[in-house]
Structure 1
Amino acid sequence: MFATLAFALAAAAAPLFARASEDIWGIAPCELCTWQRVPYWVAAALALAAALLPRARRPLALLAILAVVASGAIAAFHIGVEQGWWPSPLAGCQAPRSAGGASIDDLMRSLAVAPSKPCDAPTYLVPGLPISMAGMNLIYALGLSALAAIWMRRGVRR
């Protein structure tokens, strides 16, 4: 039970840290950044359910691990967008384009209410460290899911 609660806390820590980085350091997230947070909340909820429901602990914990892996997959995709390997399919990641004869007023109306950061502009949290926040998320997701799998495996043996 302790392992699943610790996993829930560690899963919730990732999106909470991302939100804190916005508030403390003024880092603006892009749309892919916000997508990476959702699986962590799902994982935290599943891990809490696993802690509360002993009979369903193993399948719920496995689903929680898969949710963290999903965030890692989104982060890997985001890294590809940052590196220019492929474009993002999300509309929020694209700069607005004008249709030939559009006026400045038409362009201004097409802009989002709140400015958004383009998904292909990496954010580096640690100066001099060439790992973007998406890269840090990928490392965290892989590490957390591996650690949780080890915890789960050890729990099965006991």
Structure 2
Amino acid sequence: MTRNLMIILSAGGSAALLAGAYIFQALGYPPCAMCLWQRWPHVAAILIGVLALRVPGRFLPVLGAGAAATTGGIGVFHTGVERDWWEGPTSCSGGGGLEGLSGTDLLTITGPRVVMCDQVSWELFTLSMASWNAIASFGLMICWIIAVRLSAGSTTTGSSRTV
């Protein structure tokens, strides 16, 4: 294994998860607000990965691990909201308001669809998309950490040791 291979796997994993989210959206599963929050750290991880392939050192892989941990943490929080372990944001949970919608929006069939953060729209093996994102993201965090460790053994010219 090399540092760059781990970076490619880590950033590529975020790209795959992000692509999967957009595929589900295209299949008719619109995201809630917390689902959208989980996407931003994946975007950051992809950009960090592109930069980290060009810039040697440990700093960028550490940031990548942080991005993966952030989306994983949001996924765990979202899972807890879905399972009623704790309250979610009032803006997208069962008690949330509809202040962003007009009367016309509420009365028309074609108006915007309100997607609640505390409702599971799809699951596999009793785990929601938020749960799967958390599991995969923490796996990607481990890949980033391996890249950090491999960066510690690389020289200033950017070469990486193999394991």
143, 146, 150: which is aligned to 1:150? Answer: 146
After superposition, what is the alpha-carbon deviation per residue over 1:36-86, rounded to whole angstroms, capped at 9, x for unaligned? 0000000110111111122xx310111011011000111111011101122
Aligned partner of 1:8 in structure 2 is: 11
Paired amino acid for 1:86 = W
Distance 1:31 1:134 in 2: 12
Paired amino acid for 1:121 = Q
Distance 1:7 1:107 in 2: 42
TM-score normalized by structure 1?
0.80
Q: Mark the CA change 1:96 to 1:90 in structure 2 (over 3 Å): closer, same or farther.
A: closer
More helix by share: 1
Measured after TM superposition, the shift of residue 4 of structure 1 is 1.8
Asked whether the 8 Å contact 1:96–1:110 carries over to 2, the reply is: no
Tell me if 1:38 matches 2:36: no
TM-score normalized by structure 2?
0.78
Tell me if 1:108 matches 2:103: yes
Instruction: Give unmatched runs, 5+ long, in structure 1.
Output: 99-105
Asked whether the 8 Å contact 1:28–1:116 carries over to 2, the reply is: no
Tell me if 1:96 matches 2:106: no
Paired amino acid for 1:150 = I
Asked whether the 8 Å contact 1:83–1:120 carries over to 2, the reply is: yes
Measured after TM superposition, the shift of residue 108 of structure 1 is 2.1
Distance 2:50 2:40 in 1: 16
Paired amino acid for 2:140 = L
Paired amino acid for 2:59 = P
Asked whether the 8 Å contact 1:7–1:47 carries over to 2, the reply is: yes
Q: CA RMSD in A?
A: 2.3
Aligned partner of 1:71 in structure 2 is: 71
Distance 2:11 2:96 in 1: 36
Measured after TM superposition, the shift of residue 90 of structure 1 is 5.0
Distance 2:92 2:82 in 1: 14
Taking only the aligned residue pairs, the percentage that are identical comes to 29
Distance 2:83 2:30 in 1: 18
Aligned residues: 145
Q: Secondary structure at the match of 1:20?
A: helix
